[in-house]
Amino acid sequence: MGNSALKAHLETAQKTGVFQLTGKGLTEFPEDLQKLTSNLRTIDLSNNKIELLPPLIGKFSFLKSLVLNNNKLTALPEELCKLKKLETLLLNGNHLRQLPAAFGQLLALKTLSLSGNQLRTVPTQLCGLRHLDVVDLSKNQIQNVPDTVGELQAIELNLNQNQISQISVQISHCPRLKVLRLEENCLELGMLPQSILSDSQISLLAVEGNLFEIKKLRELEGYDKYMERFTATKKKFA
């Protein structure tokens, strides 16, 4: 892409606070964006070939939304965690194996999407994020859901299409969790904590495509309590 085209994009971004450059074959984060660290609220560089996010990302102190779906990122810099106003982070379809250690400092984060990466566990860093609403970890390589998940503040957790065969009973203690998606994993019925049904806030449990028949779920103790929550929620949104 020519310099003049980039310049035009930068000029627009300066006025709107939005820099969007998708599907242009970019191999690196445009350094020229540094000129707009105090202007930008949204950066969208989806569908490119970016392998590295430079440390300068930490300078965009007013950034609310960062979208880098379908790039070639293998890691994220610690500097990303300085973005105190970041509310939306979309990183679907990259090659991420883990999150930076300081990820829990992204205190404004509401929506986190990491579908189609190479995560092997639910990152413990997510548990300190008090405003997190939606977490999408579908299509990764997660095999178990650890005890720390009980501190997760999310309202919706999507773990579809992983390799999960074990789930900590602590998931029932998530204070705000209403929607739990576990479709197409490797769960035996006996590995699904019954407290999810009998003693949690979860009002939508999606478990199709595991190693048991859905009708067997209905025979479990606590299923009627789950159905009460399910029905009450449905009425609320009807």
- pLDDT given for residue 130 in this prediction: 95
What's the pLDDT at 5?
Answer: 79
- Residue 57 buriedness (CB in 10 A; 0-12 / 13-18 / 19+): buried
pLDDT at 134: 98
Q: Give dist(CA 157, CA 131) in Å, integer.
A: 14
CA distances from 141 to 12, 146, 186, 190 (A): 40, 14, 11, 21
Q: Is 115 helix (H, G, I), strand (E, B) or coil?
A: coil
Identity of the amino acid at 105: Q
Query: 84 is written with which tokens?
Result: 């105190």
> Any idea which architecture 1-114 has in CATH?
Alpha-Beta Horseshoe (3.80)
> Mind listing the pLDDT tens digit of every residue in the chain (238 residues)?
567 778 888 999 999 999 999 999 999 999 999 999 999 999 999 999 999 999 999 999 999 999 999 999 999 999 999 999 999 999 999 999 999 999 999 999 999 999 999 999 999 999 989 999 999 999 999 999 999 999 999 999 999 999 999 999 999 999 999 999 999 999 999 999 999 999 999 999 999 999 999 999 999 999 999 999 999 988 877 6
Residue 28 Cα distances to 15, 54, 56, 59, 202, angstroms: 23, 9, 12, 17, 41
pLDDT at 2: 64
User: Distance between CA atoms of 204 and 192, rounded to whole angstroms?
Assistant: 14
Looking at residue 1, what is its pLDDT? 58
DSSP three-state, residue 112: strand
Q: What are phi and psi of 33, to 5 degrees?
A: -65, -20
